[in-house]
Structure 1
Amino acid sequence: MVNIFPRISFSKFKIGKWGSEIEDENWISSQPITTTTVAAMQILATVPRLAYCRPNLIKHSQSKFILKDGTVVKTWTSPFLRDDYIFLADPDGKMIFGGRIWQYKEQLKDAIELISRKFS
């Protein structure tokens, strides 16, 4: 078999970020994370099957309450998949932490309530 395609070295390909990755970067916070926010993230880490979600989904969420350090807790329920989303955002609305869940919604609600009682 004869190769009719010219050889292209891998150095000719440009490696970079694609459209959605660039958009996601616009929604990620660059501010330092405070100890209160870290404690809230540790509470959320106890929720089973809480998965990472894309940062640009924070634009759909609504604010629930504000923590003592100024971090905003936001939630959203997807109208199509009925997944629940939780976001911790800086005062500018950029994501510090984001997660989604579809099966253990009650545990997520309990965790949000605990965060509200302890840190707001």
Structure 2
Amino acid sequence: MDEAIKKVAALGLPGVVLVITMAATGLTGAAAITAALAFLGGPAGMLGGIAVLGLTGLITDALAKVGLEDFLTAVYCERRNLEPHGKLLNEIDSMSLFDGDLKDRLKLAVTDGCGCKTVVDVYLTDVTKEAIAILENVPGITPAHHRDFKSSNPIARLRDGTAVRTWKNPLGVDHVFLADRNDRMVYGGYVGWIHSEGLSQAIDRIRKDLT
């Protein structure tokens, strides 16, 4: 999937439109390129050579594995390292194909690196890595979406300044997040009801050993 992300990111906006077109229509190959060009209103050169490179096949595989939002998040995570953030934010705002919530989440990927694993890893200290390791060992732990991060509240702060945040959703599912000194999410996870006690014990251990 990394190859698809890098190639779409290199194309910029035309690549993003191609991905959305394929996800929305199910089209592939030349038909997908034609539909994307129709939306862009641009010359064939904007997407020239894609069929030769086999990019539509890579996109199809990536969408099947991770879905549209996660794939677009990965693309913008790649582009945020290559292009001005202001340009990307304006691009996201201008896209009528995005709903409001998706726009907000993609903007967070651009500005804060939310959802960008390769971005947040750079900032992780040994203390935060140890906290993540403790949480990852909780039975049933599942990655949480960054959209739920804003609903969480801080309950403790690690020695390196990382905040431990928790949230229980309306269904009573327990979530835990870690945020860096700039309040950017660097980890998120949740467990089902049967594993809530295990998560609670992990948080207690983090409080005892790492704060």
- Cα RMSD of the aligned pairs, angstroms, is 2.4
Q: Please identify runs of 4+ aligned residues in structure 1 that moved more than 2 A.
A: 8-21
Change (3 A) 1:53 1:23: farther
More helix by share: 2
Q: Aligned partner of 1:112: which letter? A: I
* Contact 1:74–1:87 (8 Å) recurs in 2: yes
2:32 alignment partner in structure 1? 10
> Separation in 2 of the partners of 1:101 and 1:24?
24
2:186 alignment partner in structure 1? 96
- Aligned-pair distance for 1:9? 2.8
- Aligned-pair distance for 1:72? 0.2
Compare 29-38 and 49-58 and name the one that shifted more.
Answer: 29-38
- Aligned-pair distance for 1:55? 0.5
> Separation in 1 of the partners of 2:144 and 2:131?
17
Residue deviations 1:84-120 (CA, integer Å, cap 9, x gap): 0000001222110000111200000000000000010
1:33 alignment partner in structure 2? 124
Q: Aligned partner of 1:78: which letter? A: N
Secondary structure, in 3 states, of the residue corresponding to 1:104?
helix
For the pair 1:84 / 2:174, whether they are aligned, the reply is yes
Greater RCO (Cα-Cα under 8 Å, separation 6 or more): 1
Percent identity (aligned):
29
Q: Aligned partner of 1:91: which letter? A: R
More strand by share: 1
Secondary structure, in 3 states, of the residue corresponding to 2:166?
strand
2:140 alignment partner in structure 1? 49
For the pair 1:113 / 2:204, whether they are aligned, the reply is yes
Residue deviations 1:51-110 (CA, integer Å, cap 9, x gap): 01111211111101100001000000012x210000000122211000011120000000
Change (3 A) 1:99 1:114: same
> Separation in 2 of the partners of 1:82 and 1:23?
29
- Aligned-pair distance for 1:44? 0.5
- Listed as ranges, the gaps of 5+ residues in structure 1 are 1-7
User: How many residue pairs were aligned?
Assistant: 113
- Aligned-pair distance for 1:10? 2.5
Change (3 A) 1:23 1:106: farther
Instruction: Give the TM-score, by structure 2 length.
Output: 0.48
- Aligned-pair distance for 1:37? 0.4
